[in-house]
Amino acid sequence: MVKKILKWAACTVVGFILLVAVALTLIVWIMTPARLTPIVARVANDALEAMWASVGGG
Q: What is the pLDDT of residues 6-50, one digit of tens each?
A: 999 999 999 999 999 999 999 989 989 899 999 999 999 999 998
Residue 56 has pLDDT above 80, yes or no: no
What pLDDT shows up at residue 54? Answer: 85
pLDDT band at 58 (very low <50, low <70, confident <90, very high): low
Q: Answer yes or no: are the C-beta atoms of 41 and 49 closer than 8 Å.
A: no
Q: Which amino acid is at 31?
A: M
State the number of CA atoms in the 13 A half-sphere of 25 facing the CB: 6
Q: Answer yes or no: are the C-beta atoms of 58 and 52 closer than 8 Å.
A: yes
Nearest CA among 35, 12, 31 for reference residue 23: 31
Residue 53 has pLDDT above 90, yes or no: no
